Amino acid sequence: MKNYFVQTKKYWVSDASFVTLLGMLVFTVFILPVLIDRKEDTAIFLNFMFILLFFVGVFSSHRKSYLVASISLLALHLGLRLIRFSDNPYEFYLMERLVIILNLILLAIINISLLFRDQEINTYRVIGAVNVYLLLALAGAFGFELIHLTTGHAIEGDIALMGKDGDYGTYIYFSLVCISTVGFGDMYAGGIAAKMLASFLSVLGILYPAVVISKLVSIAAEQKK
């Protein structure tokens, strides 16, 4: 068992793990919303995917501080999920969403740290940069949901929010539109909190590729020397 744990951790801190994580994120961001829209009983599968992502965060933690934070947030997340899907009359949906956001941000930080470790550049590292971009979009999606839960005004337009996990596709779509600065116009931020988050994602979407690409190019130039 210990050997299995060691081998799993060794894989998730290697460059090859960026490819596996990309596959998980592509499924979660682009395919899962379509499945949720076609079926009404996919909430458990959605929750399973995020729990799996946060387990990846635990195994990817190459520093003690990251490991402690990842395990703590994962344990809290699992506890909140068990409460919601049990017969307990209480649920902490708002706190659950906040924990998801913190977990996604932490996973993005861990991947950035892995991306620029030992100042090397290869195809895997480029894929890792894409992973961070998608993780930030996911965090933005749950950020909009958190604003909707607290203020009642997050995304407006020709939409009808159903509540809970069924709105996941709408939130991730709008977050991707903001962070990619596409702006189709079919949806827009409602309320000052949502507008500030949308603006932040747009600025992040512009600055992130410029900063990361310039950093990767400089590392590649150093390698050639």
Across the range 18-32, mean pLDDT stands at 96
- pLDDT higher than threshold 70 for residue 31: yes
- pLDDT higher than threshold 70 for residue 132: yes
Q: Distance between alpha carbon 88 and the CA centroid of its chain, in Å?
A: 28
pLDDT, tens digit, for every residue of 201-222? 999 999 998 888 888 878 877 7
Number of domains in the chain: 1
pLDDT, tens digit, for every residue of 66-104? 999 999 999 999 998 888 777 766 668 889 999 999 999
Q: Distance between alpha carbon 6 and the CA centroid of its chain, in Å?
A: 25
Across the range 29-33, mean pLDDT stands at 93
Long-range CB pairs of 214-221 (<8 Å, 24+ gap) are 215/116, 216/121, 216/125, 216/126, 216/129, 219/116, 219/119, 219/120, 219/121, 220/121
Long-range CB pairs of 82-90 (<8 Å, 24+ gap) are 85/44, 85/47
φ/ψ of residue 121, rounded to 5: -135, 130
So what's the pLDDT on residue 8? 92
So what's the pLDDT on residue 57? 96
* Alpha carbon distance 112, 73 (integer Å): 19
So what's the pLDDT on residue 42? 66
What percent of the chain is modeled with pLDDT above 70?
Answer: 95
What is the token pair recorded at 147? Answer: 């604003």
So what's the pLDDT on residue 148? 93
Range of the domain at 17: 2-224
223 pLDDT band, cuts 50/70/90, is: confident
So what's the pLDDT on residue 41? 60
Nearest to 223 by CA among 119, 124, 125, 127: 119
Across the range 147-166, mean pLDDT stands at 86
Across the range 57-73, mean pLDDT stands at 95
So what's the pLDDT on residue 89? 62
* Alpha carbon distance 142, 80 (integer Å): 16
So what's the pLDDT on residue 95? 92
Across the range 100-119, mean pLDDT stands at 93
Terminal CA-to-CA distance of the chain, rounded, Å?
Answer: 44
CATH of residue 48: 1.10.287.70
So what's the pLDDT on residue 162? 77
* Alpha carbon distance 39, 18 (integer Å): 30
Average pLDDT, the chain: 90
